[in-house]
Chains A and B, each alone.
Chain A
Amino acid sequence: MYIIKRFFTMLVTIWVITTLTFIIMHSIPGDPFASDADVLPEEVLENMRAKYNLDEPLPVQYLLYLKNLVMLDLGPSIQSETRDVNTLIADGFPASALLGIQSLVIALIFGLILGIVAALNHNGIIDYLSMAFAIIGISIPSFILAPLLIKYFAVDWGLFPVASWGTWLHTVLPSLALATAPLAIVARFMRSSMLEVMNQNYIKTADAKGLSTTGIVIKHGVRNALIPVISFIGPLAAFLLTGTFVIEKIFAIPGIGKYFVDSIFNRDFPVILGTTIFFSTILIITLFLVDISYRIVDPRIKLTSKGD
């Protein structure tokens, strides 16, 4: 059965990522307490190493980590005495998820509409304008766009808060900054998919049936053009996710992306390890869901076969 097979590939991928991340993290010479070694007495350091299992041989540490992972425990943080990695993720996730989902929805809805309108207006002025917008949207990195949005919409015109997190108004600018590039990509993708579909013979058949233009476009055009776009949602989610690192940093949003970037500079290995695994898992599950829904939407692909 395809779903089961695909599910196991997913688990293997998560395991590979965990192992790779673990090896990478522990291949760094020295330990996270190196900077504290001068100020703290040796026994205290020993105690702390014991707390993080750092006194065990590496294979044991690895197995202990895997064991905890299976129980969904990502371990303690080094920087923060009180909050372990699970708490950090639980704290940061709502903001990141809201930002990510809101951006994904904006990118999909407006991207699809723009792509469809452009395709139906092929080589017309709307087409050119949409594609000009799309290509500019793809070209400007979010970390350039975000400061510009802040400068005009927040600082100069005062429409939105400059940074930080709280009300829904706080989410508008970061979501826009994050969504622009994916929106542009979706629009281009949908446009070319739509153009291809509208040239198919079955569209001519629908026309010969006397269906209205709107009926043809929606029932026969958009539906088929969407299929390749669905498979694109996976990479899109990955794109959005890494985008949150930058956006959360610029807008000072307390999300996981910000914790992740901070943990890199603090060399807080359990947090790096934990967030990496968390991010990867979310992405891999997204890819999995996209893959499954793709196969449900397209009757030509059976869920039972591999059909790659």
Chain B
Amino acid sequence: MADKLHFELVSPERLLMSRDVDMVVVPGGDGDFGVLTGHAPVVSTLRTGILEVHNDGSEPDRLLVRGGFAEVNPEGLTILAEEATPLADVDREALEAQLKDANEDVNDAGDEAQLLQSIKTRDRLAEIIGVLDLIA
């Protein structure tokens, strides 16, 4: 196999992944795009979606990412994601339960700040479940 792509996945809290891979498929703001080594420099937004890491022809690692950016520079690909969870660890039922709670919070919100906060939580959960629906 030819040269590998250096791939890093970072969340605000820590560096989640740093390794050399064959290809990464990134859910960009304007549509998915694959990045191989030698890709032209790009900065792109991310939409909530599935990030696929392909390596050595085996089954790709799939991660659910939300909110952030992808940067490709001569050193490789860096994904800055606010959230990133391996798809296998995503618990759909738990998410749905949380969404239900969030909906209740929106209805019960006492003041404006609480309302805004709960709407944010709800939208975030709805977005993630929407993505899960698409790939199901």
Are A and B genuine complex partners? no
